[in-house]
């Protein structure tokens, strides 16, 4: 175990993935995760296991699990150790252990984590003090609101946000003497402050004021980020202010209309919501309205109508293509054969531009339809044409056909990037968690393999273009 490997795991999702950790916990395999943390030095296993132990009141075991990681200076382990100590009632000692020094107080990330621990220790005012110098950064303003929730400090938070908003107003109104344009803060920052103010007012029970803050700004005619009316619409929906929501939707169709339709449905006016969405699609044909209508139809069990609603998007080359969702709806409805017919009937731009995606979807649907022999035959032929590229799809079909050991053997021998992950998933599905964990390469091994692939790829690029500059020669000239 070393810092470099742990840093690589954090940035590349190496070792045991958080998803696999969750799957093992769901199977009750806490002790297996503890052994993996101790024997493999896997941080994801250690963190999840320590939190489980802490939740069960086994503080000593949780802290012991952290010791090897804190010994090498892994900061995430130090923070978690402090959190466990706070849970054990040793707040003062925990905070003293991780208190930032003068230099670290300038680091917003360090201050955000320390403020979170202060809040957990019941020291909300100190948490606010730590974050106050950083309120010029939008994500730290949001963190201020998060760490003070339920701490009885809403008035103080509102005062700080008001000061920040006033500062931004002054900066925004300042004109540059050279160009005559506003050279103050970004308007999005000021709107972000207003959204946070509304959020704090709402949680403080001052809902009328929360609504008024966003109503006033939305009605001002000043430019605003596209997500502001959506947040305003969601606030109105939470408060049951349907008429006000309808007026907002009429003025801010793209951002609020789907929220309005859902609010009507929740109020028992589903037919009205459906009619409005159909009218909107007829008038604008924006995919967002189709998504809202599909969701409404799905909630009513009208799957075929939902699939037909999405049909005009299935040829979209990229954004807002709802094909995958439609196929999943049909599979979940027990009709994979119908989904396969839909896929096979596609001839538009997306299908032509994404042939491999179409083939992967077809193999998945053949498996879901129980046509395993056909899928295996097609996947085998594809693998012969592109060795290794279709290993995972073929293994999945073999598993569905009851040929588990063949599927496992294929994945164990495969060079496909996701073969080890799929192998572990398959073993877990079949009640073999210890084998699943053993199948996942250790962090150092996975890191070495990834770096080797990167070197090989770089060498291939250089062979393709031997005159391509590398290293220092690749830098821009200084003139």
The whole-angstrom separation of Cα 455 and Cα 349 is 36
Q: What is the pLDDT of residue 177?
A: 46
| 139 located within any domain | no
Q: Which residue in 275, 225, 236 sits closest to 246, CA to CA?
A: 236
CB 256 within 8 A of CB 249: yes
Q: What is the pLDDT of residue 476?
A: 41
Query: Would you say the pTM of this structure is higher than 0.95?
Result: no
pLDDT below 70 — which residues of the chain?
175-187, 226, 465-479
| 264 located within any domain | yes
**Count of domains observed in the chain:** 1
| 69 located within any domain | no
Mind spelling out the 3-state secondary structure of 294-346?
HHHHHHCCCHHHHHHHHHHHCCCCCCCCCHHHHHHHHHHCCCHHHHHHHHHCC
Q: What is the pLDDT of residue 478?
A: 34
| 467 located within any domain | no
| 157 located within any domain | no
Question: Sign of dihedral through CA atoms 460, 461, 467, 473?
Answer: negative
| 278 located within any domain | yes
Q: What is the pLDDT of residue 251?
A: 86
The whole-angstrom separation of Cα 229 and Cα 232 is 5
| 147 located within any domain | no
| 269 located within any domain | yes
Q: Cα separations (Å) of 316 from 44, 49, 284?
A: 38, 44, 16
CB 439 within 8 A of CB 423: yes
CB 10 within 8 A of CB 22: no
- Rounded to 5 degrees, φ, ψ at 181 are -110, 160
Domain that holds residue 269: 241-300
Q: What is the pLDDT of residue 183?
A: 47
Q: What is the pLDDT of residue 98?
A: 97
């Amino acid at each position: 175990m070393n810092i470099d490997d742990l840093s690589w795991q954090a940035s590349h999702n190496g070792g045991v993935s958080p998803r696999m950790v969750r799957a093992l916990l769901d199977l009750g395999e806490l002790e297996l995760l503890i052994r993996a943390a101790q024997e493999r030095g896997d941080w994801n296993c250690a963190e999840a296991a320590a939190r489980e132990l802490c939740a069960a009141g086994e503080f000593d075991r949780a802290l012991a699990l952290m010791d090897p990681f804190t010994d090498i200076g892994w900061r995430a382990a130090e923070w978690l150790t402090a959190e466990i100590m706070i849970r054990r009632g040793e707040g003062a000692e925990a905070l003293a252990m991780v208190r930032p020094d003068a230099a670290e107080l300038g680091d917003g990330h360090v201050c955000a984590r320390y403020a979170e621990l202060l809040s957990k220790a019941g020291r909300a005012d100190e948490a606010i003090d730590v974050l106050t110098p950083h309120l010029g950064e939008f994500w730290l303003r949001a963190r201020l609101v998060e760490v003070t929730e339920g701490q009885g400090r809403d008035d103080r938070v509102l005062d700080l946000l008001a000061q920040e908003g006033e500062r931004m107003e002054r900066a925004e109104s300042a004109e540059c003497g050279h160009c005559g344009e506003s050279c103050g803060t970004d308007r999005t920052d000021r709107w972000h402050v207003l959204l946070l103010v509304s959020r704090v007012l709402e949680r403080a029970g001052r809902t009328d004021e929360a609504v008024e803050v966003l109503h006033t700004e939305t009605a001002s005619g000043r430019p605003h980020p596209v997500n502001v009316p959506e947040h305003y619409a969601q606030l109105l929906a939470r408060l049951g202010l349907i008429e006000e929501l309808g007026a907002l939707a009429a003025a801010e169709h793209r951002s609020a209309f789907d929220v309005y339709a859902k609010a009507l449905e929740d109020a028992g006016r589903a037919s009205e919501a459906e009619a409005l969405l159909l009218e909107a699609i007829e008038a604008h044909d924006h995919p967002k309205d189709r998504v809202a209508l599909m969701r409404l139809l799905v909630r009513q069990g009208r799957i075929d109508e939902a699939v037909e609603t999405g049909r005009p998007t299935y040829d979209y080359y990229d954004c807002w293509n709802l094909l995958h969702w439609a196929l999943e709806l049909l599979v979940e409805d027990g009709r994979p054969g119908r989904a396969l017919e839909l896929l096979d009937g596609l001839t538009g731009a997306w299908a032509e531009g994404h042939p491999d995606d179409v083939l992967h979807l077809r193999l998945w649907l053949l498996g879901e339809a129980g046509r395993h022999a056909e899928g295996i035959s097609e996947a085998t032929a594809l693998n012969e044409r592109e060795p290794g590229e279709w290993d995972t799809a073929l293994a999945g079909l073999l598993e569905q056909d009851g040929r588990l050991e063949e599927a496992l053997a294929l994945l164990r021998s495969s060079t496909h990037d996701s073969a080890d992950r799929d192998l572990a998933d398959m073993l877990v599905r079949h009640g073999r968690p210890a084998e699943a964990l053993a199948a996942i390469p250790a962090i150092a091994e996975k890191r070495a393999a990834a770096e080797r692939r990167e070197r090989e790829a770089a060498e291939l690029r250089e062979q393709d273009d031997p005159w391509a500059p590398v290293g220092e020669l690749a830098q821009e000239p200084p003139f």
